[in-house]
Amino acid sequence: MENTELKKVKQKAQQWLDGNFDDNTKKEVKALLENNEKELIDSFYRSLEFGTGGLRGIMGVGTNRMNIYTVGMATQGLCNYLKDQFKHLTTIKVAIAYDSRNNSQLFAKTAAGIFSANDIKVYLFEALRPTPELSFTIRHFGCQSGIVITASHNPKEYNGYKAYWDDGGQVVPPHDENIIAEVNKISGIDQVKFNGPNENITIVGDEIDEIYTDAIKKLSLSPDVIEKNSDIKIVYTPLHGTGVKLVPMVLNKMGFRNIIHVPEQDVSDGNFPTVHSPNPEESAALDMAIKKAKETGADLVMATDPDADRVGLAVRLRNNEIALLNGNQAATILIYYLLKRWKETGKLKGKEYIVKTIVTTELLAEMAMDFNVPCYDVLTGFKYIAEIIKQNEGKMNFIGGGEESYGYLAGEFVRDKDAIMSCALIAEAAAWAKDQGMLLMDLLEEIYIRYGFYKESLLSVTKKGKEGAEEIQKMMDNFRKNPPKEINGSKVSMIHDYQKQVSLHVIHGIKEPIHQPKSNVLQFVTQDGSKISIRPSGTEPKIKFYFGVKEKLNCIAEYKEVEKKLSDKIQNIIQDLKL
């Protein structure tokens, strides 16, 4: 006898066979029903939900897949919510951008047609554009919302749909939950208004590129230094994505004259043919760019992900080797440069601040304290950084912020992580360091000597499908019920439970409230300053373990010894937690 769940899945699939779906979709659903029970279950056992990055999933047929119908229902739900929230406006406006992924243009045009059919004015990019430019465009045109079709750095079989609000930031509570509630009210695709009139759709392109890149240029803190070091060699790759036009454009505007391309990766292609994964967090994604840097003697390598909101870096060392930097190291260099130059140029007036996420290196907070600049800690997801900027608008000035997953931002005219802007400012930091006879790695080492050697690591455990999701939740439950008393020989002194919104001082038994939205995150802090954070990913079938450790670094001569000590400490923590 069939179990209840499989019966429900088959009923859902049958609705697609009986419904007003196109013939190709019906053919694929029929094939799943007849030949692939496991894939059928994964495709229909639930509906895609907004996570920390919106709607994201594998492309294909089914309620749990990215296709024109799930995109359509999400868009109709968003339309209904916008029309309720902004009913006082004569015209509601949205902006739409999309990346180089397979079906991205199709999904973007499908969404544009639905907005139009709901009498909402649409600004649709003529071709692929970066996610941060979408955020900028929402603000530029005074839109009430916007979407970008992208799965960021996920593998090629994925696509996604990020929804934005009128401030240019991704939707945050309560809007995200309310939009999902509206989507859930739609019982079938017959309630989706497809194919609205073209007159409601305005195509945008080069004119926005110019305004956006001009705004980035104004963030420059050392134009004289760039002028003196304009020949610094920079290898840049868009990894087949949307940075292909705007990163070289903004670097040229800033004054850099020696941009070296990786021609094979300048080709926009949703199959990402030259990389296993277009994720700059994975070292292999930068292999071709690093090879090019070795051939050309470049000092700096930058690689952006498909929607150009994240950037990976590699830098030349004193021994002429090239080393990858992780997201925490890149954030450290960028934020230190911004703090230092804001101070040197007299821009620190006592009303400035930076923002980081709770799983990002504590070194950023340490540096901010040294410059007498407040540092806000927010949940993982750049939308929470955007929320802080919105709350402080007109009262304080945002210098910059970032997260360990290779996303950074400066200035207030974009409200999402911005790899176009980050490339410009990191290149400027490299020129500034060179002007003082330093490489970027030298600068990082100086920071470690001044503030302490912080080392971070991330361990992701993948658990796919429905069974995987249940296993991940079981792991979180176990850590909550049986928290470790000691990790790597150091007693656990603090437990932060962001789901229960409580911090526990373990030794004294004192509890304090956490003033953050609820999130399925646990953090253990030990007496020696180690920090372990555990959270299921909101966008991928993974549970993530973040490790942060620190030691004093007295001089460069001790660098390798202290680094090994920190690496060993992280390995011991992993073994201790039986991961």
Mean pLDDT value of segment 282-293: 97
CA distance 115 to 534: 38
Catalytic residue (choose from 116, 152, 422, 533): 152
Could you tell me which residue, 508 or 265, shows the higher pLDDT?
Answer: 265
For the ranges 178-182, 268-272, 314-318, 392-396, the lowest mean pLDDT is seen at 178-182
Examine the pLDDT at 316 and tell me if it is beyond 60: yes
Query: Across-strand partners of 504?
Result: 495, 511
Residue 135 is a catalytic residue:
no
| Residue 134 · residue 148 · CB < 8 Å | yes
Per-residue confidence at 53, pLDDT binned at 50, 70, 90? Answer: low
In three-state secondary structure terms, 310 is coil
In the prediction, which pLDDT does 579 show? 85
In the prediction, which pLDDT does 381 show? 87
Per-residue confidence at 129, pLDDT binned at 50, 70, 90? Answer: very high
Examine the pLDDT at 151 and tell me if it is beyond 50: yes
Examine the pLDDT at 111 and tell me if it is beyond 60: yes
Examine the pLDDT at 1 and tell me if it is beyond 80: no
Examine the pLDDT at 52 and tell me if it is beyond 60: no
In three-state secondary structure terms, 495 is strand
Per-residue confidence at 50, pLDDT binned at 50, 70, 90? Answer: low
Q: In this predicted model, what pLDDT tens digit does every residue of 501-543 receive, in sequence order?
A: 999 999 899 999 999 989 999 999 999 999 999 999 866 789 9
Q: In this predicted model, what pLDDT tens digit does every residue of 366-421 receive, in sequence order?
A: 999 999 999 999 998 899 999 999 999 999 999 999 999 999 999 999 999 999 99
In the prediction, which pLDDT does 55 show? 86
Examine the pLDDT at 54 and tell me if it is beyond 80: no
For the ranges 1-15, 26-40, 351-365, 481-495, the lowest mean pLDDT is seen at 1-15
CA distance 493 to 386: 31
Which candidate, 67, 406, 465, 99, places its Cα nearest to that of 272?
A: 99
In the prediction, which pLDDT does 467 show? 86
Examine the pLDDT at 475 and tell me if it is beyond 60: yes
Q: In this predicted model, what pLDDT tens digit does every residue of 552-572 receive, in sequence order?
A: 999 999 999 999 999 999 999
DSSP helix, strand, coil percent of the chain (3-state; round to 5): 40, 20, 35
Q: In this predicted model, what pLDDT tens digit does every residue of 199-257 receive, in sequence order?
A: 999 999 999 999 999 999 999 999 999 999 999 999 999 999 999 999 999 999 999 99
CA distance 29 to 60: 10
Query: Could you give all domains of the chain from N- to C-terminal order, each with its CATH number?
Result: 1-45 (no CATH), 63-204 (3.40.120.10), 228-450 (3.40.120.10), 453-576 (3.30.310)
Contacts for 513 with CB less than 8 Å, ≥ 6 apart = 501, 502, 503
CA distance 22 to 280: 37
**Torsion angle (degrees, nearest 10) of CA 304, 307, 308, 310:** -70
Mean pLDDT value of segment 167-187: 88
Q: Is the pTM of this model over 0.85?
A: yes
In the prediction, which pLDDT does 546 show? 96
